Structure 1
Amino acid sequence: MERIFDEASWRKYVSGYTFYDCAILSEHEFGFILVEERDSWDDDDDRAPMTRFVAIDIDEPIERRFRGAQTGAFSGTTIAASEQPRAYVAVDSASKVHSIEPERSGDERAIDRVLDMSIGNGMLGTVRKAVRAAGKIYALGIHRKIYRRIGVDQWIEFGAQGNGVPMPADLTSQPDFIYTLGFNDMSAFSKNDMYAVGGEGDAWRFDGEQWHQCSIPTAAKLTTVCCAGNGLVYITEQKGSVWEGRADRWQKVTGKQLPAGFYPVDSVWFNNRLYLGTQCGIFTLDKKRGKVVDLKEAEEDAPDPANSGRLDLSEDGRFLLTVGPYGACIHDGTTWCRLFSALDFS
């Protein structure tokens, strides 16, 4: 494969930064979040690290291949991609939005400037993750809030349509729900069959009209959910335990195994396998052994942690993209291929 970056484009878009998240539109189109890297910070410099947004179309000649922007105003940013409309949308924890579309790119109005994100006692909700589910882009947050993007500068909250996720009637302590209630991930079989998880055992299913709490017998922190091609749903706990089931029938298929730093942040079903993405590489479910294992135990050509970790699946399900702090790889259903790596420019 022809190199995606040359020396000049690598210096312009990547040097001094590490990759944090990724999104895929097609085999040749990708979006990335990068965060400024420093060996040490000046005690007098209390500014937040800079964030970069980079979209790549490798079918274009190198002078038109990249679209990017940089800001110091974003923090804890995640990215998702959708086909209709065709766009990458990045959302940070404070609900600020940046999008890259064929005809435009740039910052949009923050979600809290578009609709009311207040959650009581003068507090504003925060966003934990941007995801694509059933072809739409959502921002997930505390207080069991789910926001759907309907266009540039346009978002709608599930609850505004009368079908939001209910809160406990006996909730008395506002800070409690920041840690125990709210969503880290969402996945869907269809717009009428979606799952959202987070908090301490906080798992819910949407049937197209209302949300139903899933009776999973755990109070552990839930980090990812995946509606898999085998018709089952997989939910991960923070330390690596995996639950398998659907609706109100669940069983734990692995125990806690992963140390801090290896907690699942993405889960994807691809090639009849559950992939778990972390900030330190990719793991997979070995159901026969009842374990979560390093992907290299199942796939000899699996990428190393420097070039893998965060995951995104193309909307047609044909390509799996992963990015690590120093590079990215893609799986086409047959083999892994390295797209680029910092080693190419060392």
Structure 2
Amino acid sequence: MSISIEQLNPRIAGFNVIDCAIKNRDILYLLAREDYTQHPGWRDGREAPGEGRLAKRLLSLNLKNPDEKKWGIGHLRGLGASVCGVAFAPEEKVVVLDSSSKAWSPTPGSDGFEGPIPSQFEGGVKRGGFSRARSFGGRLFASSTARQLFVRTAPGKWELVGEPMPEPDEYKISFVDFDGFGPENLYAVGDPGDIWHLSGQVWKRMKFPSNWGLSAVCCAEDGNVYVAAGDHVFRGLGDKWEKLKTKAQISLPIKDLVWYDGELWATNDYGVWVLKDEGLVDADVPSGVKVCSGNLATRDGVLLLAGYGGAAYKRDGQWTEIFHDHEVREWFETNRDKVWTPPK
């Protein structure tokens, strides 16, 4: 299937993919951030610009569209560290959310920006930085590093999920990820060894056999919860957990865990793995897919893998490589005058 790389190159050149999401089996999203190291004249050792000064781009790939309409783009400025997710209610659209809870979604007749959650000084809550976005029951949820979970009830409107909880200790970050079997049966994790279960509207802290920072969680179709702690994965439910073997070489904490086609998949910026015979092993994927490690998303029979090295997806048992960063960089070096620029 054509990916229309001639359309993609001008739109993604000079940017790195930092998150991904799936609307349905035909519409995929890549969230990218401006790569300041590719600016003309950049030299190592110079001070990096602040996150809020780096532009973000949301690229949409519609596989059913003709080649000339495969790719859509939203160019965003003024956002901090950002993630993306898809809301299906009260309206169906993709949402980009930054660490301060400022949000953006494509809205005809508007710039699409939505105000952040009111702060403690504005009559709201003492909010941490937003870290992850996922949808359950059609609604979009987002976790905060101040041990909070919010649900988007309308554009620019977020409500705290469950009863308020004690903040994590100073210099600790929780929650960094969450997942669930449904909107009232959720698990959320953070640092160190911090795991909580939401049943209805009541949160309860679970006992966990590790003080490592917990970086990812997956509530799988086999009825188990999988939690990443450093380079290891634990499997369990409630207060009962078992440490699974790690048969692969994993040098960084696992960043994403998803359940796809009867298997647990894991990734970080340097690899992608699956759970086989009670242990994590290197995923049997083409080399051109493996370099796309970094972020995982799954929905509607599609597995999307995307990161600094590029992006690829699996559908109907077949991997399709969307792009590779090294090829885009080569194109960029000789085609800077052809790069897409946002309308003024």
TM-score interval, normalised by the smaller of the two chains:
0.7 to 0.9
Amino acid across the alignment from 1:313: T
What is the rounded CA distance, in whole Å, between the counterparts of 1:2 and 1:49 in structure 2?
30
Q: Corresponding residue for 1:59?
A: 64
The aligned runs of 1:1-346 (5 Å cut-off) are 1-6=1-6, 9-37=7-35, 38-39=37-38, 40=42, 43=46, 46-47=49-50, 48-84=53-89, 85-100=91-106, 106-112=112-118, 118-119=125-126, 124-158=127-161, 163-167=162-166, 176-179=169-172, 182-237=174-229, 239-254=230-245, 260=251, 262-288=252-278, 290=279, 292-295=280-283, 299-301=284-286, 303-314=288-299, 316=300, 318-342=301-325, 346=331
Secondary structure at 1:12's aligned position in 2? helix
> Partners of 1:303 and 1:270 in 2: how far apart?
20
Q: Is the 8 A contact 1:51 1:71 kept in 2?
A: yes
SS in 1 for 2:222: coil
Counterparts of 2:254 and 2:47, CA distance in 1: 35
Which secondary structure state, in structure 1, belongs to the residue aligned with residue 291 of structure 2? helix
- Look up the SS of the partner of 1:184 in the other structure: strand
- SS of residue in 1 equivalent to 2:192: coil
| Separation in 1, partners of 2:92, 2:16 | 26
Q: What SS does structure 1 have at the residue aligned with 2:105?
A: strand
Calculate the TM-score normalised by the size of structure 1: 0.82
Q: Mark the runs of 5 or more structure 1 residues left unpaired by the alignment.
A: none
Is the contact made by 1:331 and 1:337 (CA closer than 8 Å) also made in structure 2?
yes
Distance 1:56 1:112 in 2: 33
Task: String of CA shifts for 1:156-200, please: whole Å, max 9, x gaps.
Answer: 112xxxx325217xx8xxxx3441x52111111122321111121
3-state DSSP class of the match of 1:167?
Answer: coil
Distance across 2 between alignment mates of 1:189 and 1:196:
12
Q: Distance in 2 between matches of 1:60 and 1:103?
A: 23
Shift of the 201–150 alpha-carbon distance from structure 1 to 2, 3 Å rule, reads same
CA distance in 2, matches of 1:303, 1:312: 18
- d(CA) in 2 for partners of 1:254 and 1:103? 53
Give me the whole-angstrom Cα distance separating, in 1, the residues matched to 2:324 and 2:107.
26
Whole-Å Cα distance in 2 between the matches of residues 326 and 200 of structure 1?
A: 30
Q: Identity, % of aligned pairs? A: 24
Q: Please identify, of 278-287 and 110-119, the stretch whose mean Cα deviation from structure 2 is larger.
A: 110-119
Residues 337 and 152 (structure 1 numbering): CA distance in 2 closer, same or farther, change over 3 Å?
same
Q: Which moved more, 1:99-108 or 1:246-255?
A: 99-108
Distance 1:214 1:44, change over 3 A: closer
| Structure 2: 5+ residue stretches without partners | 332-344
Structure 1 residue 246, shift from structure 2 partner: 0.9
Alpha-carbon offset, residue 29 of structure 1: 0.6
RMSD, aligned α-carbons: 2.8
Counterparts of 1:197 and 1:45 in 2: how far apart (Å)? Answer: 30
1:142–1:177 CA contact under 8 A, matched in 2: no
Q: CA deviation at 1:303?
A: 4.5
Q: How many residues align?
A: 320
Displacement, 1:148?
0.8
Shift of residue 344 of structure 1?
Answer: 5.8
Check 1:204–1:134 CA distance in 2 against 1; reply closer, same or farther (3 A cut).
farther
Q: 1:117–1:310: structure 2 CA closer, same or farther, 3 Å change rule?
A: farther
Higher relative contact order (CA 8 A, sep 6+): 2
After TM superposition, the score normalised by the length of structure 2 is 0.82
Amino acid of the structure 2 residue aligned with 1:272? G
Q: How far does the alpha carbon of each residue in 1:50-100 deviate from its partner, in whole angstroms, 9 at most, with x for none?
A: 221222223223444333232341222111123333211111112221123
Conserved in 2, the CA contact under 8 Å of 1:201 and 1:220? yes
Deviation string for 1:282-319 (max 9, x for gaps)? 1222343x3x3221xxx2436544323311111x3x11
* Native 8 Å contact 2:87 2:94 kept in 1: yes
